[in-house]
Structure 1
Amino acid sequence: MLFEQSVQFASLSDIGFRRQNNQDSFAVHICKDREDWVRRGHLFVVCDGMGGHAVGELASKLAVDTIPHAFQKSLEQDVKTALLNAIVDGNRVINERGTQNREFERMGTTCTALTLGSTGVLIGHVGDSRAYRVRGSQIDQLTADHSLVWEMIQQRRVHPKDASSIVPKNIITRSLGVEPTVNVDMEGPFPALSGDVYVLCSDGLTNLVSDQEIGVAVRELAPADACRFLVNLANLRGGIDNITVIAVRLGAMPEGVSLDGIPESESREIDGRSFARLAWVIAMVVSCGFGMSLVINGPDWRAAGLALIGLSVFLLAVGWIFRKNHVSPTDKAGVEADSMATVLWRPYRTASARATPELIDRLARLHAELQKAAREEEWSIDWAEHDDLMQKFTLATMEKRLSRAFRDLTKVIGMLMSGVQAQRRRLKRESRWGPVRKPNDTSGS
């Protein structure tokens, strides 16, 4: 990517519906000048503290304070080494604070940090907070969960479909601060292409929202709207934990800017995609030409037509092979032989990021339940606007414009969720001060 490319981003952290305090923390550092960007790049960090109440909150806060500062000040180191050492430094700070007070003993936090700069995308990772990339109609998980359930799956001791019902999800096997030393997974560098969306989030989101739902949300919505919808969705499904999400969308390549500043892996990928598309277009044109020839000229053109079909098949094969060889999620040449690096040639998990009828139906049922509660409990909702959006949603669904239907549905769910939050605030006030009487309410007087 280039410094001139726009970067849209949004972040949101929510306490959820069950917790008394928020143990998640996040940090965002956007470079203001080219020199800073070339040297380090934009930085995004999500941490999920553990240790109970203020202890976990302190651990995650120490991490997001320490890591960006340490990352920026290490002038002599390359980006990958600087990010690794910054996370290690965060571990040291948390561990030292934990040893100073018995109440803070064994406090810790997860950490997922992503840099977006001249070298592409680099990720430093400890724990079960995640980093995703959405490219086109696909969402890729770029980090491995350091959790008992993932280790059991990797060791093939449980099947992925059965793992969540057999192994507790909340047992993590690696974190910052618990021990004096920590093993940090370094992922990348990955090519960063125009239109890519990167998502960092805590397990308060991923335990309740599927990869597909995350992918569709950040693909179809602006980053701020996507963050709000994902938090709403997690809360509607129980909100059992704190929820934090950062969404980062990489803008289009500026016009008239050469590719000289782009890493070789990214320019190869751009060229590979273009060549593959060209080969497929030519194959389609040739096939259509053969079909028209048969209609116009009849069987006399059969031999020439068969030759054209052979050429089409050849071009399709060339396009597929070229795309496969040049579109890779990892720049192999850029990955250093580091004993602490996790070298990947493919994502850990991949899912569709397309809006499907099944997804729309699932969300529509969730909306129907929410709407029923809102009407029965007389929440303060602009029902005229709600009903207008629902008419648009119904029309888009009937016309099979699923992307539009998804966007409309997220809006009406957001409207109802504002009513949920208002209702929760009212109930909280009443539990503390008792019911608030309306001005014309004379009962009990």
Structure 2
Amino acid sequence: MQIAFHAQSHKGLVRKLNEDACLALPEAGVWAVADGMGGHAAGDVASQMVMDMLKTLVDSAGKALSPAMLSQALQNANKALVQYSQQQLLGSMAGSTVVVLFIQQDRYHLLWAGDSRCYLLRNNTLQQLSHDHSQVNEMVAQGLLAASEAESHELANVITRAVGVDTELEVAVCADECLPGDLFLLCTDGLTKELPDHEIHQYLQHDDIADASKALLHSTLVAGAKDNVTSILVKLQSISNVNLNDKTIPLNLKNV
């Protein structure tokens, strides 16, 4: 088996700064995206701090890396951001959403906080693996709001969980089996607020994930790209299907 991936980040057409960040550590089976918030470049600092904490942990853990360790790295980032806000921002908040994909042996592990998302395309069916930690998503879950009305609701930008927002961080997790042909999409809400799921599904059907990734970004820019846009595509594929234009790394799903 091989893992192919393509990562990209763009500041969009409205924002002056790119407060998103991404991380690709294929040798360790780790990919992540983060969406910073706080203004005055605090969001930029926040998202990069989360990525740096993850990279430091992965580099030091080596083959002992585990989902619990990745969760602890996010907890460490949370404490560091709370301290940064108190000491450097006079109490103003620097926070970040995050979603982390960890592929280990024949399973994937997902960790997240906020509304950055992970999708899985399997057997031509697109599934959102993460669920948004947002005000409108909670309203939908409680039956107070129709799902079709969520994106246009006045509270659509209010998230209920993120790194650096509270002294305690609850990291959401899920895990399941990996299958050959699985395609994962990690992305910030700059993409999902511009493109509906059915359009994302359409672009992910490209055989070349680099083309699929570029198509996602192009369509987001055409739609107005009011926010920063960051995405990573990660595909499990057989060696015979590897496109040499993609960044690839060998993966033995049984012996990582």
Give the TM-score of the pair, scaled to structure 1: 0.52
CA separation of 1:53 and 1:218: change in aligned 2, threshold 3 A? farther
Match of 2:178 in 1: 192
2, 5, 19: which one pairs with 1:6?
A: 2
* 1:191 to partner: Cα distance: 1.0
**Over residues 161-219 of structure 1, what are the superposed CA-to-partner deviations in whole Å (9 max), with x where a residue is unaligned?**
2233334211100000122210000111x111111100000000000111122222122
Bigger RCO (CA 8 Å, 6+ sep)? 2
* 1:75 to partner: Cα distance: 6.6
Q: Does 1:234 align with 2:220?
A: yes
Are the counterparts in 1 of residues 113 and 171 from structure 2 also a CA contact under 8 Å?
Answer: yes
Whole-Å separation in 2 of the counterparts to 1:211 and 1:153: 17
* 1:138 to partner: Cα distance: 0.4
**Over residues 232-251 of structure 1, what are the superposed CA-to-partner deviations in whole Å (9 max), with x where a residue is unaligned?**
11111111000001001111
- Structure 1 stretches of 5 or more lacking a match? 32-40, 264-445
Whole-Å separation in 2 of the counterparts to 1:252 and 1:7: 9
Match of 1:121 in 2: 108
Q: What SS does structure 2 have at the residue aligned with 1:235?
A: helix
Match of 1:60 in 2: 47
* 1:122 to partner: Cα distance: 0.2
Q: Does 1:261 align with 2:254?
A: yes
Whole-Å separation in 1 of the counterparts to 2:43 and 2:228: 12
* 1:86 to partner: Cα distance: 1.4
Match of 1:432 in 2: none
**Over residues 131-179 of structure 1, what are the superposed CA-to-partner deviations in whole Å (9 max), with x where a residue is unaligned?**
0100121011000100111010011111112233334211100000122
Are the counterparts in 2 of residues 194 and 253 from structure 1 also a CA contact under 8 Å?
Answer: no
Q: Does 1:22 align with 2:12?
A: no
Percent identity between matched residues is 29
Whole-Å separation in 2 of the counterparts to 1:29 and 1:113: 11
CA separation of 1:165 and 1:215: change in aligned 2, threshold 3 A? closer
Counterpart residue type for residue 200 of structure 1: L
Whole-Å separation in 1 of the counterparts to 2:63 and 2:165: 29
The alignment covers a number of residue pairs equal to 245
Match of 1:440 in 2: none
More displaced 10-residue stretch of structure 1: 163-172 or 196-205: 163-172
CA separation of 1:101 and 1:221: change in aligned 2, threshold 3 A? same
**Over residues 296-354 of structure 1, what are the superposed CA-to-partner deviations in whole Å (9 max), with x where a residue is unaligned?**
xxxxxxxxxxxxxxxxxxxxxxxxxxxxxxxxxxxxxxxxxxxxxxxxxxxxxxxxxxx
* 1:82 to partner: Cα distance: 1.2
- Structure 2 stretches of 5 or more lacking a match? 241-251
Whole-Å separation in 2 of the counterparts to 1:18 and 1:159: 29
Counterpart residue type for residue 21 of structure 2: S
1:19-418 paired onto structure 2 within 5 Å: 19-31=15-27, 41-74=28-61, 79-102=66-89, 105-188=92-175, 190-252=176-238, 261=254
Counterpart residue type for residue 8 of structure 1: A
* 1:80 to partner: Cα distance: 2.0
Are the counterparts in 1 of residues 37 and 95 from structure 2 also a CA contact under 8 Å?
Answer: yes
Counterpart residue type for residue 163 of structure 2: L
State the 4+ residue runs in structure 1 displaced beyond 2 angstroms.
71-78, 102-105, 162-168, 259-263
More displaced 10-residue stretch of structure 1: 20-29 or 154-163: 154-163
**Over residues 106-137 of structure 1, what are the superposed CA-to-partner deviations in whole Å (9 max), with x where a residue is unaligned?**
11000000011215100110000000100121
Give the TM-score of the pair, scaled to structure 2: 0.89
Match of 2:246 in 1: none
Whole-Å separation in 1 of the counterparts to 2:253 and 2:195: 40
Are the counterparts in 2 of residues 70 and 89 from structure 1 also a CA contact under 8 Å?
Answer: no
Bigger strand fraction: 2
* 1:220 to partner: Cα distance: 1.5
Q: CA RMSD in A?
A: 2.1
Q: What SS does structure 1 have at the residue aligned with 2:46?
A: helix
**Over residues 241-283 of structure 1, what are the superposed CA-to-partner deviations in whole Å (9 max), with x where a residue is unaligned?**
00001001111278xxxx99389xxxxxxxxxxxxxxxxxxxx
Whole-Å separation in 2 of the counterparts to 1:219 and 1:76: 33
